[in-house]
């Protein structure tokens, strides 16, 4: 059973989004401004749609925090949807006197068709509302809380864009995280940034969309999180599941991932050397494994890359079928982004923070932050060979 659990609720155009987070220890400093900063990062990026200008996301802390500190009970957060004012009738909880038109033309690449078939619906609106990436605002809020906890134990999490469409960052380029945060596409390479933005503009002009690749890096992760003893305790398995649950993500690799499939064994693995003056009694000159071996963190930075498909709602709709008539039709169109790769990186940071926070609580326990810190220090003293 997970130590850290969270549950989200809400529809894209409903009154708001809610999230309940259970399992964090007492004594963790937490305030709404810190969560708002992460929500703002999610809304940025060249290629986002008009709604990002309308919504100014801010999570209200309703429970679980007193005088700026968590109290050990479930934390509940509420994010109001400002666009609700324009959707009151469409998303009314009570039945309207005159039902509005049904949406019956599913969009290829969305959950529309499969969801309508699964739940026996003659209107795909309910599927559209919950399957929308708007839900990730609640996950980013939960992740902001989780990363506040992981930061207390020395973990830093960042993300950056490696590719948008055919435009890619030059391999091996150094990463300046401050530059990434200032970049409209969250890219560390200035030349690649310009090419990516031009590609997004061209896609928008043609009524099309673009995907790409983003990378998430967690530094300072202690050795020993996760376990090899059962499949569902493997840290890489938990990370992969969390990442694949993000809208538009269609592939995940940890470390060299798919590239390792083309390497010789002598090239693909990270040799172990004795070390003095480092946190551990050993060192690795490379990190092909991405910080995880045998389902367990090995003390190196955890690196995860995500393949993000192009947004499936196109300005020039794809062919579809009208479910009410069975006849060919253009897919339904609703306002949409052109490229979400930069935003997916921020969402993936939140997802990784939630997985790592759960793994840390599983490893170190503690009902108060100070108890968790104490347990962590004691473990690391042993793992690092300190007297």
Query: Looking at residue 101, what DSSP letter applies?
Result: P
Is pTM beyond 0.85? Reply is: yes
What is the CA 20 to chain-centroid distance, rounded? 17
Residue 75 φ then ψ, to 5° = -100, 130
Q: How would DSSP label each residue in 66-96?
A: ETTEE-SSPEEEEEE-GGGGGSTTTT-SSPP
Q: What is the pLDDT of residues 328-344, one digit of tens each?
A: 999 998 878 999 999 99
**Would you mind telling me the total number of residues written for the chain in this entry?**
387
Instruction: Give me 326's structure tokens.
Output: 């069975």
3-state secondary structure of 255: coil
Distance CA 89, CA 372 (A): 48
Rounded alpha-carbon distances, angstroms, from residue 4 to 142, 196, 220, 356 = 11, 37, 20, 10
Distance CA 103, CA 116 (A): 11
Describe the strand order of the beta sheet including 302-308 as a list of residue ranges.
Answer: 167-168, 156-164, 212-219, 302-308, 249-254
In 3D, which of 117, 90, 98 has the Cα closest to residue 106?
117
Long-range contacts of 259-264 (CB under 8 A, 24+ apart): 260/288, 263/288
Q: Residue 378 contacts by C-beta under 8 Å, 6 or more apart in sequence?
A: none
Q: What is the pLDDT of residues 9-57, one digit of tens each?
A: 999 999 999 999 999 999 999 999 999 999 999 998 887 665 555 558 9
Distance CA 225, CA 154 (A): 14
Q: Is the CA virtual torsion 131, 352, 41, 81 positive or negative?
A: positive
- Contact present, 306 and 288 (Cβ < 8 Å): no
Region label for 224, one of left (φ > 0), alpha (ψ between -120 and 50) or beta (otherwise): left
Beta-bridged to residue 304, according to DSSP, are 216, 254
96: how many CB neighbours lie within 10 A of its CB? 10
Residue 354 φ then ψ, to 5° = -65, -40
Domains and CATH numbers, the chain: 5-255+290-383 (3.60.150.10)
Q: How would DSSP label each residue in 176-196?
A: -HHHHHHSTT--S-HHHHHHH
**Tens digit of each residue's pLDDT, the chain (387 residues):** 579 999 999 999 999 999 999 999 999 999 999 999 999 999 988 876 655 555 589 999 999 999 999 999 999 999 999 988 888 888 888 888 887 889 999 999 999 999 999 999 999 999 999 999 999 999 999 999 999 999 999 999 999 999 999 999 987 777 999 999 999 999 999 999 999 999 999 999 999 999 999 999 999 999 999 999 999 999 999 999 999 999 999 999 999 999 999 999 999 999 999 887 667 788 899 999 999 999 999 999 999 999 999 999 888 899 999 999 999 999 998 878 999 999 999 999 999 999 999 999 999 999 999 999 999 999 998 887 554
Query: Looking at residue 307, what DSSP letter applies?
Result: E
Rounded alpha-carbon distances, angstroms, from residue 169 to 139, 158, 192, 301 = 28, 16, 6, 20
- Contact present, 370 and 141 (Cβ < 8 Å): no
Average pLDDT score, the chain: 93
How many CA atoms does the CB half-sphere of 84 hold within 13 Å? 14
**Is residue 381 packed enough to be buried (19+ CB in 10 Å), middle (13-18) or exposed (0-12)?**
exposed
Distance CA 145, CA 162 (A): 27
């Amino acid at each position: 059973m997970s130590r850290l659990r969270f549950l989200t609720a809400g529809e894209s155009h409903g009154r708001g989004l809610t999230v309940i987070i259970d399992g964090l220890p007492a004594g963790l400093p937490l305030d709404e401004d810190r969560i708002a900063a992460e929500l703002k990062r999610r809304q940025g990026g060249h290629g986002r749609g008009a709604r990002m200008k309308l919504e100014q996301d801010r999570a209200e802390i309703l429970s679980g925090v007193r005088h700026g500190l968590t109290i050990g009970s479930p934390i509940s957060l509420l994010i109001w949807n400002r666009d609700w004012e324009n959707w009151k009738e469409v998303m009314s909880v009570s039945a309207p006197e005159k039902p509005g038109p049904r949406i019956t033309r599913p969009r290829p690449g969305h959950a529309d068709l499969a969801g309508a078939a699964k739940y026996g619906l003659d209107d795909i609106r309910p599927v559209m509302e919950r399957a929308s990436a708007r839900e990730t605002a609640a996950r980013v809020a939960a992740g902001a809380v989780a990363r506040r906890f992981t930061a207390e134990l020395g973990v830093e999490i960042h993300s950056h864009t490696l590719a948008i469409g055919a435009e890619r960052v030059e391999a091996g380029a150094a990463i300046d995280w401050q530059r990434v945060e200032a970049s409209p596409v969250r890219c560390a390479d200035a030349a690649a940034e310009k090419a990516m933005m031009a590609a997004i503009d061209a896609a928008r002009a043609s009524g099309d969309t673009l995907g790409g690749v983003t990378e998430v890096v967690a530094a300072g992760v202690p050795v020993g999180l996760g376990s090899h003893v059962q499949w569902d305790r493997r840290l890489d398995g938990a990370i992969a599941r969390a990442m694949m649950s993000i809208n538009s993500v269609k592939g995940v690799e940890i470390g060299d991932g798919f590239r390792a499939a083309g390497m010789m064994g002598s090239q693909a693995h990270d040799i172990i050397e004795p070390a003095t003056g480092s946190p551990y009694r050993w060192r690795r000159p490379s990190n092909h494994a991405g910080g995880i071996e045998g389902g367990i963190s090995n003390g190196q930075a955890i690196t995860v890359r995500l393949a993000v498909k192009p947004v499936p709602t196109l300005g020039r709709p794809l062919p579809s079928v009208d479910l009410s008539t069975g006849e060919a039709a253009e897919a339904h169109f609703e306002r949409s982004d052109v490229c979400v790769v930069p935003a997916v990186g921020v969402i993936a940071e939140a997802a990784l923070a939630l997985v790592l926070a759960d793994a840390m609580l599983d490893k170190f326990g503690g009902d108060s932050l100070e108890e968790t810190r104490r347990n962590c220090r004691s473990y690391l003293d042993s793992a690092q060979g300190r007297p």
